[in-house]
Amino acid sequence: MAGLAARARSRCRARLGLIALLGVAVASYAAVPVTGKLAVSARATAAPLELRDMAGKLHRLSDYRGKVVLVNFWASWCEPCREEMPSLNKLKRRMDGIRKGAFVVLAVNYAENDIRIASFLQRQPLEFPVLLDPFSQAWREWKPGLLPASFLVGRDGRLRYRVLGELDWAGAEAEQVVRALLQEKP
Protein backbone atom coordinates (compact mmCIF):
# COMPACT_ATOMS: atom_id res chain seq x y z
CA MET A 1 0.00 0.00 0.00
CA ALA A 2 2.76 2.43 0.96
CA GLY A 3 4.53 1.58 -2.31
CA LEU A 4 1.46 2.51 -4.34
CA ALA A 5 1.11 5.84 -2.57
CA ALA A 6 4.80 6.63 -3.11
CA ARG A 7 4.55 5.85 -6.84
CA ALA A 8 1.43 8.01 -7.15
CA ARG A 9 3.21 10.93 -5.43
CA SER A 10 6.21 10.43 -7.70
CA ARG A 11 4.02 10.50 -10.84
CA CYS A 12 2.27 13.60 -9.55
CA ARG A 13 5.60 15.37 -8.97
CA ALA A 14 6.77 14.37 -12.44
CA ARG A 15 3.59 15.78 -14.00
CA LEU A 16 3.92 19.02 -12.03
CA GLY A 17 7.55 19.30 -13.12
CA LEU A 18 6.54 18.80 -16.73
CA ILE A 19 3.79 21.42 -16.41
CA ALA A 20 6.28 23.87 -14.85
CA LEU A 21 8.79 23.22 -17.64
CA LEU A 22 6.11 23.75 -20.26
CA GLY A 23 5.10 27.00 -18.54
CA VAL A 24 8.68 28.27 -18.64
CA ALA A 25 8.96 27.35 -22.32
CA VAL A 26 5.75 29.17 -23.19
CA ALA A 27 6.74 32.21 -21.14
CA SER A 28 10.17 32.42 -22.77
CA TYR A 29 8.64 32.04 -26.23
CA ALA A 30 6.12 34.77 -25.44
CA ALA A 31 9.00 36.98 -24.25
CA VAL A 32 10.49 37.00 -27.77
CA PRO A 33 9.40 40.32 -29.24
CA VAL A 34 7.65 39.93 -32.57
CA THR A 35 8.34 43.36 -33.91
CA GLY A 36 8.63 43.03 -37.66
CA LYS A 37 11.39 45.66 -37.26
CA LEU A 38 15.11 45.53 -37.84
CA ALA A 39 16.87 45.05 -34.51
CA VAL A 40 20.59 45.58 -34.09
CA SER A 41 22.39 42.39 -33.17
CA ALA A 42 25.32 41.99 -30.78
CA ARG A 43 27.74 41.58 -33.73
CA ALA A 44 28.44 38.00 -32.83
CA THR A 45 29.84 35.70 -35.46
CA ALA A 46 26.95 34.16 -37.37
CA ALA A 47 26.19 30.51 -36.69
CA PRO A 48 27.40 28.06 -39.32
CA LEU A 49 25.06 27.41 -42.20
CA GLU A 50 25.64 24.56 -44.63
CA LEU A 51 22.59 23.38 -46.56
CA ARG A 52 21.68 22.20 -50.04
CA ASP A 53 19.33 24.07 -52.34
CA MET A 54 16.49 22.60 -54.40
CA ALA A 55 18.94 21.59 -57.16
CA GLY A 56 21.25 19.84 -54.68
CA LYS A 57 23.96 22.54 -54.68
CA LEU A 58 25.67 23.00 -51.32
CA HIS A 59 25.62 26.52 -49.87
CA ARG A 60 27.89 27.48 -46.99
CA LEU A 61 27.54 30.86 -45.33
CA SER A 62 31.34 31.01 -45.15
CA ASP A 63 31.45 30.90 -48.99
CA TYR A 64 29.69 34.28 -49.03
CA ARG A 65 32.25 36.11 -46.88
CA GLY A 66 32.74 39.61 -48.27
CA LYS A 67 29.06 39.85 -49.22
CA VAL A 68 26.04 41.01 -47.24
CA VAL A 69 23.82 37.97 -46.62
CA LEU A 70 20.19 37.92 -45.58
CA VAL A 71 19.31 34.54 -44.06
CA ASN A 72 15.54 34.16 -44.00
CA PHE A 73 13.79 31.27 -42.18
CA TRP A 74 10.39 30.54 -43.69
CA ALA A 75 7.81 27.86 -44.52
CA SER A 76 5.15 27.68 -47.23
CA TRP A 77 2.37 27.15 -44.64
CA CYS A 78 3.36 30.42 -42.88
CA GLU A 79 1.20 33.24 -44.25
CA PRO A 80 3.50 36.10 -43.13
CA CYS A 81 6.41 34.22 -44.74
CA ARG A 82 4.56 33.98 -48.04
CA GLU A 83 3.60 37.67 -47.89
CA GLU A 84 7.22 38.68 -47.21
CA MET A 85 8.73 36.87 -50.22
CA PRO A 86 7.85 39.42 -52.95
CA SER A 87 9.56 42.18 -50.96
CA LEU A 88 12.69 40.01 -50.64
CA ASN A 89 12.68 39.62 -54.43
CA LYS A 90 12.38 43.40 -54.85
CA LEU A 91 15.21 44.14 -52.42
CA LYS A 92 17.46 41.58 -54.17
CA ARG A 93 16.77 43.18 -57.57
CA ARG A 94 17.44 46.70 -56.22
CA MET A 95 20.71 45.69 -54.59
CA ASP A 96 21.83 43.85 -57.75
CA GLY A 97 21.25 47.15 -59.59
CA ILE A 98 23.66 48.87 -57.21
CA ARG A 99 26.36 46.21 -56.91
CA LYS A 100 25.61 42.91 -58.65
CA GLY A 101 26.36 39.88 -56.50
CA ALA A 102 27.30 41.83 -53.37
CA PHE A 103 23.98 41.08 -51.65
CA VAL A 104 22.75 37.52 -51.21
CA VAL A 105 19.44 36.18 -49.91
CA LEU A 106 19.38 32.60 -48.59
CA ALA A 107 15.85 31.39 -47.86
CA VAL A 108 16.06 28.51 -45.37
CA ASN A 109 12.91 26.43 -45.52
CA TYR A 110 11.79 25.05 -42.19
CA ALA A 111 11.43 21.26 -42.39
CA GLU A 112 9.20 20.91 -45.46
CA ASN A 113 9.55 18.33 -48.19
CA ASP A 114 10.73 19.10 -51.73
CA ILE A 115 7.28 18.60 -53.26
CA ARG A 116 5.61 21.17 -51.04
CA ILE A 117 8.41 23.69 -51.60
CA ALA A 118 8.37 23.14 -55.39
CA SER A 119 4.61 23.69 -55.43
CA PHE A 120 5.05 26.99 -53.58
CA LEU A 121 7.87 28.08 -55.92
CA GLN A 122 5.65 27.47 -58.97
CA ARG A 123 3.15 29.96 -57.56
CA GLN A 124 5.77 32.38 -56.18
CA PRO A 125 9.09 32.23 -58.06
CA LEU A 126 12.04 33.43 -55.99
CA GLU A 127 15.18 35.08 -57.34
CA PHE A 128 17.47 33.59 -54.70
CA PRO A 129 18.39 30.13 -53.42
CA VAL A 130 15.92 28.17 -51.32
CA LEU A 131 17.86 25.99 -48.90
CA LEU A 132 16.46 22.79 -47.45
CA ASP A 133 16.58 22.21 -43.69
CA PRO A 134 14.56 18.96 -43.48
CA PHE A 135 15.86 17.97 -40.06
CA SER A 136 15.86 21.52 -38.60
CA GLN A 137 19.63 21.55 -38.14
CA ALA A 138 19.99 25.23 -39.11
CA TRP A 139 16.90 26.07 -37.05
CA ARG A 140 18.56 24.63 -33.93
CA GLU A 141 21.85 26.45 -34.59
CA TRP A 142 20.36 29.86 -35.46
CA LYS A 143 17.48 29.68 -32.92
CA PRO A 144 15.06 31.98 -34.76
CA GLY A 145 12.17 31.00 -32.47
CA LEU A 146 9.39 31.84 -34.93
CA LEU A 147 8.60 32.33 -38.58
CA PRO A 148 9.42 34.34 -40.49
CA ALA A 149 12.77 35.27 -38.97
CA SER A 150 15.59 36.98 -40.81
CA PHE A 151 19.22 37.70 -40.03
CA LEU A 152 21.47 40.17 -41.83
CA VAL A 153 25.10 39.10 -41.86
CA GLY A 154 27.70 41.76 -42.64
CA ARG A 155 30.54 41.39 -45.10
CA ASP A 156 32.78 40.45 -42.17
CA GLY A 157 30.64 37.38 -41.39
CA ARG A 158 29.21 38.88 -38.22
CA LEU A 159 25.53 38.99 -37.36
CA ARG A 160 24.39 42.61 -37.67
CA TYR A 161 20.58 42.69 -37.60
CA ARG A 162 17.68 40.37 -36.93
CA VAL A 163 13.98 40.58 -37.65
CA LEU A 164 11.40 38.46 -35.86
CA GLY A 165 8.20 38.52 -37.83
CA GLU A 166 7.33 39.87 -41.24
CA LEU A 167 9.09 42.92 -42.67
CA ASP A 168 8.61 44.89 -45.88
CA TRP A 169 12.11 44.30 -47.25
CA ALA A 170 11.36 46.62 -50.18
CA GLY A 171 10.78 49.49 -47.74
CA ALA A 172 13.14 52.44 -47.26
CA GLU A 173 14.46 51.35 -43.84
CA ALA A 174 15.52 47.87 -44.97
CA GLU A 175 17.09 49.21 -48.15
CA GLN A 176 19.00 51.87 -46.20
CA VAL A 177 20.37 49.28 -43.76
CA VAL A 178 21.49 46.93 -46.55
CA ARG A 179 23.10 49.80 -48.50
CA ALA A 180 25.04 50.82 -45.37
CA LEU A 181 26.23 47.24 -44.85
CA LEU A 182 27.38 47.08 -48.47
CA GLN A 183 29.54 50.16 -47.90
CA GLU A 184 31.40 48.62 -44.95
CA LYS A 185 34.76 46.95 -45.37
CA PRO A 186 34.86 43.16 -44.91
What's the Cα-to-Cα distance from 147 to each of 62, 92, 101, 164, 166, rounded to whole Å?
Answer: 24, 20, 26, 7, 8
Which residue type, as a one-letter code, is found at position 101? G
Q: Are 48 and 61 in contact (CB under 8 A)?
A: yes
Confidence of residue 2 (pLDDT cuts 50, 70, 90): low
3-state class (DSSP) for residue 111: coil
- Which residues contact residue 113 at a Cβ distance below 8 angstroms, ignoring those fewer than 6 apart? 134
For residue 83, pLDDT over 90 is answered with: yes
Could you tell me the pLDDT band of residue 42, with boundaries at 50, 70 and 90?
A: confident
Interval 84-101: pLDDT, tens: 999 999 999 999 999 999
Q: Is residue 40 scored above 60 in pLDDT?
A: yes
Q: What are the tens digits of pLDDT across the range 43-60?
A: 789 999 999 999 999 999
Residue 146 banded pLDDT, cuts 50, 70, 90: very high
